């Protein structure tokens, strides 16, 4: 996804990842670039907590630019997913075929989250 489609805040931790919050087709898109691990998962969780705070949210987390995710990153997503399940909103993930997608498949999170290969598909209602 190109930055031309994103408007909003950009957060870059000294250790990564870059988190860009924007909007596409009435969905908030959180684009994550770089590595998501124990040092950086709190940045992701904070961004997701912020964008899922309002009722009726429609959030897409775009992992297209993510090169690595470990159990800390997965844990951050699970924590937000629990909040989403209790509220009134929608959370979708974009995880194209990649080593990151393999992590979602091995952990069977493809059965927990709505996962698409691209932002266009994820933001289509």
pLDDT value at 86 more than 80 = no
User: What percentage of the chain carries pLDDT values higher than 70?
Assistant: 86
Under 8 Å between Cβ of 87 and 80 = no
The mean pLDDT of 62-83, rounded to a whole number, is 93
Beta bridge partners, 32, equal 19
Question: 């974009």: which residue's tokens?
Answer: 94
| Domain residue limits, the chain | 3-122
Structural element, H or E, at residue 113: none
Which position has the higher pLDDT, 88 or 122?
122
Domain 3-122 CATH (choose: 3.30.1330.10, 3.30.565.10, 3.40.1160.10, 3.30.750.24) = 3.30.750.24
- Residue 33's Cβ-count burial label (10 Å; 0-12, 13-18, 19+) is middle
pLDDT, tens only, 11-64: 544 555 689 999 999 999 999 999 999 999 999 999 999 999 888 899 999 999
Question: 């000294």: which residue's tokens?
Answer: 14
pLDDT value at 1 more than 60 = no
Under 8 Å between Cβ of 109 and 101 = no
């Amino acid at each position: 996804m190109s930055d031309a489609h994103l408007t909003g805040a950009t957060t870059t931790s000294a250790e990564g990842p870059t988190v860009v919050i924007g909007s596409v087709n009435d969905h908030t898109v959180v684009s994550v670039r770089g590595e998501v691990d124990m040092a950086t998962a709190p940045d992701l969780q904070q961004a997701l907590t912020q964008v899922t705070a309002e009722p009726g949210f429609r959030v897409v987390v775009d992992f297209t630019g993510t090169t690595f995710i470990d159990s800390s990153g997965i844990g951050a997503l699970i924590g937000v997913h629990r909040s989403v399940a209790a509220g009134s909103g929608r959370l979708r993930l974009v995880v194209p075929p990649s080593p990151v997608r393999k992590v979602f498949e091995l952990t069977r999170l493809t059965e927990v989250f709505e996962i698409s290969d691209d932002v266009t598909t994820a933001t289509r209602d």
